């Protein structure tokens, strides 16, 4: 009956919700289903700091008693004053005693409130920091392909943005418990005098609660629907005012275009939000008026009882104050419950992210990579297909990469060269077939140990806003405090010459994001990136076109030096310049994800196939 009544009330008051453009359910009951995540949040809070959590609970239990005690002592003071006026010459000792008691309670209430606020702040900050750390830790465990899914980014964005929501929810949950205890105490006092006051109280607060629940549901739906657009808004804001994009924005006069696009998106969001807030404000005002009328109806009832002699002046003061505070507490409790339920839906987004699990993990009983490698890698009919793609990136690929061999990968853009290197490092798993390392399936090896034995420098390597020392140490972050190996790696990549010119040498901040940062040219950044590969004590090194910003001669010198310095280790080189890859022991030519040709430079020229044709075309361009 109650469920049916509440449903009819909601449909009557908020029929326009059916026309919401959010595409998400706006039934307030959906919010309360999300409350199942609250216990999980409480466990996180406890894990963050048991001491602060216990202190907060104890302080709020203490604080919940003060309002009732202060009001009741006030009643006793008024009754004592009335008695003394009616009986002149009586002793005022009790009056001063109760006044001193009220003063002490007031001081204790203030101290308790300040202590609670302090503990709230400390626990909230600690929880926010801890949850952010856990978010980064979990993101670090996930697979590369998951980061390439737009839906994953939506979940990640929601989880990132909700640190404040989680901290606010923490404070609200604790305040809810405190108010609930105060409500029980005040309700007991009202029931003793007149149980009908509680019925009137429910009439005063329930409509407002239902309305708040509904509009919180609509706000979440709007937030959820706008997540992809907000990411686009943030991206446009970044592109329009970033040092990384400034050249293109100015050269192609993109500023006006970007601003217009930003304005259109933000205006649409503003209008959607405006309509929702106008409706919320209108209904909120109506509900407040209803609650106020109910309050004064109860006040009239209490005044009639006082005029009939059923209540003393102190009783009237206590009841009126109790009803007023109880109304406020109950209103706050219910509204906060609706808000907690709404925030719990955001909490669901947060835990949804943590429920995403990596698929590429170490098997139980995984083995370590042999040192040194004996036979090397073998691809057996390996195929790979990206999610949501009908086309295979690699198809039926079979070849060997013996230990100690330098293999070059060539082919047109999209041929599958980078995908192949990611399969070697188990950043992806083959869709079909298998990869062997020293005769054992690559999936049998411990994942972390495997990746420690493989060093990759991609074409789109990251230019970290860190010091020169730290930028090189990225290759083996455990050696970040050992300058010797870092300097040796810089010498091998020729990065030491440019670092010597920096004002602070290896301690110079690189990039323009922070104060005193120095920006490097594309070629200089590539030398720093290649130093990372040298620092990594890996048995297989992969250079995926990291020298594309260098001219042909400079790239050739880098690869010659690279081949000399990694003697005894395996290597995979990717380059569009055939004059460079010819120094590899063998060359694998990929076409549309399939092995077209494989052999040494001389063998492929003698074959007079596709490689030979493209080599001659490129060589002709240099004549």
Q: Could you state, in order of their start, the residue ranges of all structural domains in the chain?
A: 28-355, 463-537
Per-residue confidence (pLDDT) for residue 517, from 0 to 100: 86
Q: What residues contact residue 25 under an 8 Å CB cut-off, 6+ apart? A: 217, 221
State mean pLDDT over 393-407: 94
**Where does the pLDDT of residue 7 fall: very low under 50, low under 70, confident under 90, or very high at 90 and above?**
very low
Query: Of 177, 171, 169, which is closest to residue 31 (Cα–Cα)?
Result: 169
Query: Of 178, 222, 220, which is closest to residue 338 (Cα–Cα)?
Result: 220
390: pLDDT strictly greater than 90: no
Q: What is the 3-state secondary structure (H, E, C) of 478-531?
A: HHCCCHHHHHHHHHHHCHHHHHHCCCCHHHCEECCCCCCCECCCHHHHHHHHHH
According to DSSP, the residues that pair with 509 across neighbouring strands are: 467
CA-to-CA distance for 436 and 442, rounded, in angstroms? 5
**Residue pLDDT, tens place only, 117-166:** 899 888 888 888 888 888 888 888 888 877 777 777 677 777 776 655 66
**Where does the pLDDT of residue 15 fall: very low under 50, low under 70, confident under 90, or very high at 90 and above?**
very low
Query: Of 609, 561, 620, which is closest to residue 587 (Cα–Cα)?
Result: 609
- Please give the residue that has the higher pLDDT: either 447 or 222: 447
Into which CATH architecture does domain 28-355 fall?
Up-down Bundle (1.20)
CA-to-CA distance for 426 and 143, rounded, in angstroms? 9
With pLDDT > 90 as the criterion, what percentage of the chain qualifies? 22
CA-to-CA distance for 596 and 609, rounded, in angstroms? 9
Residue 461 and residue 546 in contact, taking contact as beta carbons nearer than 8 Å: yes
Per-residue confidence (pLDDT) for residue 392, from 0 to 100: 93
State mean pLDDT over 39-51: 86
Find tokens 């040709």 and name the residue: 597
Q: Degrees (nearest 5) of the Cα angle 516, 519, 521?
A: 160
CA-to-CA distance for 135 and 139, rounded, in angstroms? 6
CA-to-CA distance for 548 and 474, rounded, in angstroms? 21
CA-to-CA distance for 582 and 612, rounded, in angstroms? 11
Q: Is 330 exposed, middle or buried (0-12, 13-18, 19+ CB in 10 A)?
A: buried
Could you give the strand order of the β-sheet that contains 406-410, starting from the edge strand earlier in sequence? 454-457, 540-544, 570-574, 406-410, 586-591, 594-599
What are the CA-CA distances from residue 298 to residues 55, 185, 203, 562 (Å)?
38, 19, 11, 87
CA-to-CA distance for 623 and 618, rounded, in angstroms? 9
230: pLDDT strictly greater than 80: no
- Please give the residue that has the higher pLDDT: either 144 or 225: 144
271: pLDDT strictly greater than 50: yes
Per-residue confidence (pLDDT) for residue 3, from 0 to 100: 44
State mean pLDDT over 249-277: 79
**Where does the pLDDT of residue 9 fall: very low under 50, low under 70, confident under 90, or very high at 90 and above?**
very low
């Amino acid at each position: 009956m109650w469920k049916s009544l509440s449903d009819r009330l909601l449909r009557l008051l908020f029929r326009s919700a059916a026309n919401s453009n959010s595409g998400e359910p706006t039934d307030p009951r959906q919010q309360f289903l999300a409350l199942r995540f609250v216990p999980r949040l409480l466990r996180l809070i406890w894990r963050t700091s048991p001491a602060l959590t216990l202190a907060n609970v104890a302080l709020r239990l203490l604080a919940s008693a003060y309002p009732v005690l202060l009001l009741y002592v006030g009643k006793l003071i008024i009754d004592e004053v009335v008695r003394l006026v009616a009986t002149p010459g009586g002793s005022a000792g009790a009056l001063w005693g109760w006044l001193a008691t009220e003063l002490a309670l007031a001081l204790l209430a203030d101290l308790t409130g300040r202590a609670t606020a302090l503990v709230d702040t400390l626990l909230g900050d600690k929880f926010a920091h801890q949850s952010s750390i856990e978010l980064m830790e979990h993101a670090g465990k996930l697979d590369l392909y998951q980061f390439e899914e737009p839906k994953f980014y939506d979940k990640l964005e929601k989880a990132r943005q909700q640190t404040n929501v989680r901290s606010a929810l923490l404070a609200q949950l604790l305040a809810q418990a405190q108010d609930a205890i105060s409500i029980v105490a005040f309700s007991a006092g009202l029931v003793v005098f007149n149980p009908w006051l509680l019925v009137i109280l429910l009439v005063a607060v329930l409509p407002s609660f239902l309305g708040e629940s509904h509009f919180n549901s609509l706000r979440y739906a709007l937030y959820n629907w706008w997540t992809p657009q907000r990411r686009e808004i943030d991206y446009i804001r970044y592109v329009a005012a970033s040092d990384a994009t400034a050249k293109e924005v100015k050269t192609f006069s993109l500023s006006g275009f970007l601003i217009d696009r930003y304005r259109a998106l933000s205006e649409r969001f503003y209008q959607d939000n405006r309509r929702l807030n106008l409706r919320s404000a209108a209904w909120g005002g109506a509900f407040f008026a209803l609650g106020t009328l109910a309050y004064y109806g109860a006040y009239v009832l209490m005044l009639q009882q006082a005029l009939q002699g059923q209540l003393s002046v102190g009783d009237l003061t206590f009841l009126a104050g109790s009803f007023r505070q109880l109304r406020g507490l109950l209103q706050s409790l219910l509204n906060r419950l609706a808000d907690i339920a709404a925030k719990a839906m955001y909490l669901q987004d947060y835990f949804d992210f943590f429920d995403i699990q990596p698929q590429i993990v170490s098997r139980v009983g995984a083995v370590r990579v042999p040192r040194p490698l004996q036979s090397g890698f073998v691809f057996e009919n390996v195929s790979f297909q990206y999610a949501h793609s009908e086309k295979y990136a690699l198809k039926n690929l079979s070849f060997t990469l013996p230990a100690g061999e330098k293999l070059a990968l060539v082919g047109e853009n999209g041929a599958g060269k980078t995908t192949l290197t990611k399969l070697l490092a188990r950043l992806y798993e083959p869709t079909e077939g298998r990869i062997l390392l020293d005769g054992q399936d690559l999936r049998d090896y411990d994942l972390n140990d495997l990746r420690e034995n493989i060093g990759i420098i991609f074409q789109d390597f990251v230019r970290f806003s860190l010091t020169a020392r730290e930028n090189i140490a990225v290759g083996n972050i455990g050696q970040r405090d050992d300058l010797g190996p870092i300097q040796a790696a810089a010498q091998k990549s020729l990065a030491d010459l440019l670092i010597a010119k920096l004002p602070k040498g290896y301690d110079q901040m690189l990039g323009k994001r922070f104060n005193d940062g120095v920006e490097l040219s594309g070629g200089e950044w590539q030398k720093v990136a290649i130093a990372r590969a040298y620092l990594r004590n890996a048995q297989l090194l992969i250079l995926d076109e990291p020298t594309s910003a260098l001219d042909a001669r400079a790239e050739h010198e880098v690869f010659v030096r690279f081949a000399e310095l990694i003697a005894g280790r395996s290597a995979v080189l990717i380059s569009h310049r055939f004059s460079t890859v010819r120094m590899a022991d063998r060359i694998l030519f990929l076409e549309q994800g399939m092995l077209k040709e494989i052999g040494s430079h001389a063998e492929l020229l003698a074959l007079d196939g596709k490689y030979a044709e493209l080599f001659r075309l490129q060589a002709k361009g240099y004549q």
